[in-house]
Amino acid sequence: MITATQKPLSEIWEMLKGCSRVLILACNTCVAVCHAGGNKEGEILASLLKMLAIQDELDLEIKNNCVEKQCEQNDHSDLEDDLDWADAILSTACGAGVQFIAETYRGKPVYPALDTCFIGVTEEKGLWTERCQACGNCILGFTGGICPISRCAKRLLNGPCGGSTAGKCEINPELDCAWQLIIDRLKGLDRLELYEQLPQVKDWSTDRAGGPRRRILDE
């Protein structure tokens, strides 16, 4: 799940300066689960911005609407009236959704209402933690299903680093050492021989080098 947090209201307000009709477009999937940008959050944000407009005595009209996934090519026919009306779109999607909406509706400025954080899991109610950096070269089969790229503060492929103490990370003692978790997991699986294998040099070209990555579904 992609997690995000809402930008400070002051930052959003600054982006909208000069706009007269703003459509707040919510995204009701990932960012709805983490209570950042779903339909409910879009409605609350619309109310706050309307109050700011009244307080500052600005002639700013605001509407809100919602789609299930802003990162997919959907039928937006039910949004046509709102999109024609608006002179700017404030998206409560992740960064991918914001960019896709901007590409789809090129004639209107699209502003982000959220800061995208990471791909994570729900540990408990109200707590999400990072598990994947989408590096494009997954090694989870060799590390007991625990990712050292996202969970080791140093992104080490040959840990532990020697600085951990009592299974905790030297950079942040509140965090478990990822490599200690990996070793304990492999022991529990009776697969510790995987840890003793020298890891291959990571192909970082599948990560962030060389521009945007693409994936084409094989037929």
What's the pLDDT tens digit per position in 36-71? Answer: 999 999 999 999 999 999 999 999 999 999 999 999
20 and 68 both lie in a single domain: yes
What's the pTM? 0.81
Assess whether 110 and 57 both reside in one domain.
Answer: yes
Question: What was the pLDDT predicted at 205?
Answer: 66
pLDDT tens, 78-119? 888 999 999 999 999 999 999 999 998 988 999 999 999 999
Number of compact structural domains in the chain: 2
Domain ranges, residue 86: 2-118
Same domain, 110 and 171: no
Q: Is residue 212 part of a domain?
A: no
Residues 9, 106: one domain? Answer: yes
Q: Are residues 139 and 192 in the same domain?
A: yes
Long-range contacts of 146-155 (CB under 8 A, 24+ apart): 146/178, 146/181, 146/182, 146/185, 147/178, 148/178, 148/179, 148/182, 150/118, 150/119, 151/178, 151/181, 152/177, 152/178, 152/179
